[in-house]
Structure 1
Amino acid sequence: MNEALFESPGGTWVSARQVLFVDYDGTLHRGDAYRTPNGIVSSHPSIQLFEYAHILAEAIAPYPDLELVLSTSWVKAIGFNRARDSLPLPELRSRVIGATYHTKFYDRHVWNQIPRGEQIRRYVGRHHLASWLAIDDRDDGFGNARAHLVLCDTSNGLGREDTQHALKHALFAEFGQR
């Protein structure tokens, strides 16, 4: 990927990209999902996978330059293309430009043991991102970047109104004043 970098007022080089890191389980649907011989299934029969995808699509609609990067364990489990294509809405799929996980990483065999925030911060560093957010039900490994996280409750994901409000507020604070 060839990214344009710009010098920041602090003298460092940063990308002008705007990125939202997206987890699936506990975020776009309640609870976890599991890989079975019949495909991926939700943790409970009453839970529809990606039941809150429309909420994410509506929240990011005002930000046409916003790119999505998958930070979900689905990428390691089923591959990038299948994980991206699992998103039920074309307006979300079309924004996905990458993932935090890649099969070429030297530590791919222990990827799931690396804290989620560290996975994301590695991507941020590699790509020199200045404007980014993450939406996830895990807050491990974010360290001093915790302000970039919209934390979901695993049992409710984006189904809670206060989480939806927090996402909209964070999107505007990070990307809306450009």
Structure 2
Amino acid sequence: MEHSNPLLGRATPTLFVDYDGTLHSGHALLDADGQVTLESGRPLFEYAPLLVEMLEPYRDVEIVLTTSWLQTLSTEKVISYLPPDLTRRVVDTTRDRKARFSYMQNGSGRTDIITSYAYGKRLKNWLAIDDSVYGVYHFGREPGELVRNFVLLDSTRGISDEGAQQRIREWLAEVHKESSA
């Protein structure tokens, strides 16, 4: 059975999750007292319940946080903002990964970080939901091969966007169909 061979990669479904423009509309502002507000004026994590609901039937899905909040706040503090049903799924962050300079310059730094993490951990079933994953077509061994691993979100709608929800649900069904086959 292919899942038992560690050389073929880790089959556990892994979701790379950003915060700003993903789990809420807009981008965070951190004041001197450590209070977080959104420049959009919208509620923090207003779309987190949607992700909880989508993941609920799939108990084995793990989360790796990719949010830029990790550059300012401790990992524990960043995780503490999530609802408990998401907190328990967090297995790692991309805090210690740095994008190559050329990718930082052309705006695809986040895409580089996520791709290098997924390859480095030999992840087989992964999806990134983020409003700043640009240049995806150029990543991977073949141009376009990783396009299905990324959902580029509209930062004003995040995962409240119907198309984004449909893509996440399709991925969840697809990876769970494979693991039960």
- State the TM-score, normalizing by the size of structure 2: 0.81
Say what the alpha-carbon RMSD is for the aligned residues. 2.2
CA, structure 1 residues 101+176, in 2 after alignment: closer, same or farther (shift >3 Å)?
Answer: farther
Pick from 100, 113, 138 the counterpart of residue 119 of structure 1: 113
Structure 2 gaps, min length 5: none
2:153 match: 152
Q: C-alpha distance in 2, partners of 1:77/1:5?
A: 39
How many residues are matched?
Answer: 164
Q: Which has the higher helix share?
A: 2
Q: Is the 8 A contact 2:25 2:40 kept in 1?
A: no
1:58 match: 53
1:20 match: 15
Q: 1:1-178, aligned counterparts within 5 Å?
A: 6=5, 12-38=7-33, 39-45=35-41, 47-87=42-82, 89-102=83-96, 107=98, 113=104, 115-142=109-136, 143=139, 144=144, 145-178=146-179
Letter matched to residue 84 of structure 1: I
Letter matched to residue 156 of structure 1: R
CA, structure 1 residues 35+19, in 2 after alignment: closer, same or farther (shift >3 Å)?
Answer: same
Displacement of 1:141 in angstroms is: 4.5
Q: Is the 8 A contact 1:68 1:97 kept in 2?
A: yes
Q: Which has the higher strand share?
A: 1
- State the TM-score, normalizing by the size of structure 1: 0.83
Deviations 1:89-118 (Å, cap 9, x if unpaired)? 10100100100122xx5x58x7x9361111
Displacement of 1:128 in angstroms is: 0.8
* Percent of paired sites with the same residue: 32
